[in-house]
Structure 1
Amino acid sequence: MTLIAICGASASGKTTLAKHLVDQFGLSKVVTTTTRPPRPGESERDYHFVSQLGFADQARRGDFLEWTAFCGHLYGTTKASVLVATQSSMAAVVVCTPHALYKLSRWTRSQGFGFRSVFLLADRETLEQRLVERNVTSVVDERRLLSTDLQKSWSAMHPYDLVIQPTSLAATVSDVGALIPA
């Protein structure tokens, strides 16, 4: 079993890539937890949407392998969600922050699983366009773009298995698909 972690800035295409890996390669998706409201079209297959209090309860119980706050919302990955995904296929994919990468890698390997990591780079114009399409407010938009600059520097500092600037979705899916064990 291998866990593939996809990192990148907000609106870099992480979730879209994960969905295509699930569809084309039969990977399981680790469903992470968040306190943010669902975007149009999102469901419990995309995230476990919980209240601030519910998230805090899970954190107090030690359910999370990692969690972080971003733009006023909490995001985290539970041990249970990783175990569910890893039991249902030979490989699973998780969308996470660079902050989460080390903790997920360490825990996954301690369980005897393989771990691969991908960082998606996207140019600022693409990110701005996608954030506008999401109807993100200007204050949050700027915080996300500042985060983008920080995450780009993280892509150089962390040992990702693949750092890619997507030119097309098909090419990106193919490149990341090469990391999936046969």
Structure 2
Amino acid sequence: MSSSPSARDGEGPRSGQAPSTGSGQAGAGQVRRGLLLVVSAPSGTGKTTLVERLVQLVPDLVMSRSYTSRPAREGETNGIDYNFVSRQRFEEMVAIGDFLEWASVFGNLYGTCASDVERHLAEGRDIVLVIDVQGARQVRERRVDTVGMFVLPPSFEVLEQRLRGRSKDSEAAMQRRLQRARDEVAGFVDYDYVVVNDELESCVERLRAIVLAERAKLRQAWPVAEQIVGTFTRKDTQ
């Protein structure tokens, strides 16, 4: 999944990201390896909108673009909203191990391309995957360094109101979505951080604070810190 963003559950079109400032560069040829971030939430919580806003504010943070077997909806563009492929092609990609994670969501297949993620990380960019709890579980099993963030709605009632306000689903389909939400929120205990989307900008700011704090941890800051410390011990030669 690459820098043009994409997420699941049809939470709307995608937007741009903050320009790169080279903060992934540690200097003197050293590159800080990027962070692998996961954001999960029940459908209707606003996770896609939150992460779209987040990548606009945080340099060198990109939002992953999913592959999916579902047909493009009106207004969606291949390579921008999702990478749209046939179900047969998706299953072939599963068989050859192309995906870091994949899951079936309401009968459609969604997945994250492992090579896309690795490319961003190797180039020093942080990448955020907006995926469901199924996919997040797979990522954490394969990548123990994953930073997980779970977004909760203010309440079940608020979530139901949001879903009904935006959806044309039948009542039976709506009840399936609501039951899925009940099942998903129980998984918040498996994540590193939990934030509540009670107000867009304040929630985005909390997510931004998490990303910046993770960047300052020793394992991430080591290349830059080591270079600076080296200037204290280097002896000038005449």
Task: Measure how far apart 1:89 and its partner are.
Answer: 5.0
Aligned counterparts, 1:135-154, within 5 A: 135-154=168-187
CA distance in 1: counterparts of 2:65 and 2:209, whole angstroms:
23
In 2, the alpha carbon distance for the partners of 1:162 and 1:40 equals: 35
Cα deviation, 1:73-93, whole Å, max 9, x if unaligned, reads 111112123124434553111
* Counterpart position of 2:202: 171
Q: Which runs of 5+ in 1 are unaligned?
A: none
Identity %: 31
Structure 1 counterpart of 2:158, from 126, 138, 141: 126
Shift of 1:124: 2.7
Correspondence for 1:30 = 64
Q: Which structure is higher in strand share?
A: 1
Are residues 86 and 128 of structure 1, via their aligned partners in 2, closer, same or farther at CA, if it must alter by over 3 Å?
same
Provide the C-alpha distance between the structure 2 equivalents of 1:10 and 1:75, rounded to a whole number of angstroms.
14
1:19 aligns with 2:52: yes
Of 91, 97, 103, the residue aligned with 1:68 is 103
Where 2:36 maps in the other structure, the secondary structure is strand
8 Å CA contact 1:69, 1:75 repeated in 2? yes
Moved more, 133-142 or 73-82: 133-142
Once the two structures are overlaid, the 10-residue window that deviates more, 119-128 or 36-45, is 36-45
Q: CA deviation at 1:55?
A: 0.9
Please tell me whether Structure 1 or Structure 2 has the larger radius of gyration of its CA atoms.
Answer: 2
Alpha carbons 1:33, 1:49 under 8 Å: kept:
yes
Structure 1 segments (4+ residues) deviating >4 Å: none
Deviations 1:24-52 (A, max 9, x none): 11311111111223344433223212221
Secondary structure, aligned partner of 1:167: coil
Bigger relative contact order, structure 1 or 2 (CA pairs below 8 A, ≥6 apart) = 1
CA RMSD of aligned residues (A): 2.0
- Tell me the distance in 2 between the aligned counterparts of 1:88 and 1:28: 12
State the TM-score, normalized to the length of structure 2: 0.67
Gap change, CA 1:137 and 1:33, over 3 Å in 2: farther
Measure the CA separation in 1 of the matches of 2:158 and 2:70. 23
**Which residue of 2 is the match for residue 58 of structure 1?**
93
Alpha-carbon shift at residue 172 of structure 1 (Å):
0.9
* Cα distance, 1:89–1:141 mapped onto 2, change above 3 Å: farther
SS in 2 for 1:139: helix
Q: Which amino acid aligns with 1:115?
A: T
Question: Taking structure 1 as the reference length, what is the TM-score of the superposition?
Answer: 0.85
- Go from structure 1 to structure 2 and tell me whether the alpha carbon gap of 1:49 and 1:128 turns closer, same or farther (over 3 Å shift): farther
Counterpart-to-counterpart distance in 1, 2:98 and 2:134 = 17
Aligned residues of 1:30 and 1:94 also touching (Cα < 8 A): yes
- Paired positions, count: 176
